[in-house]
Amino acid sequence: MNPEPSTAVIGGSGFYDLPGLTDLEELNVSTPFGAPSDALRVGRLGGRRVVFLARHGRAHSLLPGEVNARANIYALKQVGVTHVVSVSAVGSLREAIAPGDAVLPHQFIDRTEGRARSFFGQGVVAHIAFADPICMRLSRLMETAARSQPGNVHAGGTYVCIEGPQFSTRAESELWRSWGAAVVGMTNLPEARLAREAELCYATLALPSDYDCWRSSDEAVTAHEAFETLKRTVDKAKSIVAQALADIDPRQGCTCRTVLDAALVTPPAAFSPEARSRLAAIVARRLGAESV
């Protein structure tokens, strides 16, 4: 039996739970790519099935580079997730984007190093289209929800994802600005790439906690200061997410859900038994189509 289509929330720094879930259960899911960051908390909100995952673990025990994004996305796919709402702490690279605002980026620049960024390889080749990395239908729903809450909302712009765990140097911060980036964070890649490979709709709510370090008049950001700001904004973020979840129909079709049709190069008939097992949740739709 196929699991009920669901929306997932991946909570970032400061966002370790999702209030209001009923019929709550915890699932400890194993994947071919290892264990996800934490148990999946599955419940219902407004009658719809919702899955919550704390990206860094509920005790915030994982560095950005230690997050097993492949296991996280694979686990969500296994339990029936079709849409992923990402919530992430970031630094602002623009004067107009103040700490406490809500940002819905539409683009990414990847400056991570050495993170596993694909489910494919080892005998199976796929090249997904990633020109537009955000599901715009989902991002617009999140924007509408954000605008229903007090405070400024910035839709669009580029999120530059750095390796961390150190914050940027001033020279790096100025470089990101010269590239036109709006915010800087450490977690949305390869997460967004993997969500696309898994044919999931994905969009991000970014929460600026500081101005990074490009403003010469400011002291450099510290983790303590960033988390203090996040404590003041996380309740608003949870309200935005709850409103968005009420508007997301996880059964609704989207082009995100068929990207492998134009991306998979290796014919499914040529998959080894090991590859079929390893990629079972990711390519199940394609394998089913090939058997018809």
Question: Is 17 known to be catalytic?
Answer: no
The sign of the CA dihedral 154, 160, 164, 166 is negative
Q: Choose the catalytic residue: 17, 101, 210, 247.
A: 210
Burial class (CB in 10 A: 0-12, 13-18, 19+), 117: middle
Does residue 210 have an active-site annotation?
A: yes
For residues 215 and 173, give the distance between their C-alpha atoms in angstroms, rounded to a whole number: 9
Backbone angles phi, psi at 238, to 5 degrees: -65, -35
- Give first-to-last CA distance, the chain, whole Å: 18
Please enumerate in sequence order all residues whose Cβ is within 8 A of that of 209, keeping only pairs 6 or more positions apart, or say none: 89, 90, 91, 99, 221, 225, 226, 227, 229, 230, 233
**Residue tagged active-site, from 38, 101, 212, 261:** 212
Q: Please identify every residue annotated as catalytic.
A: 210, 212
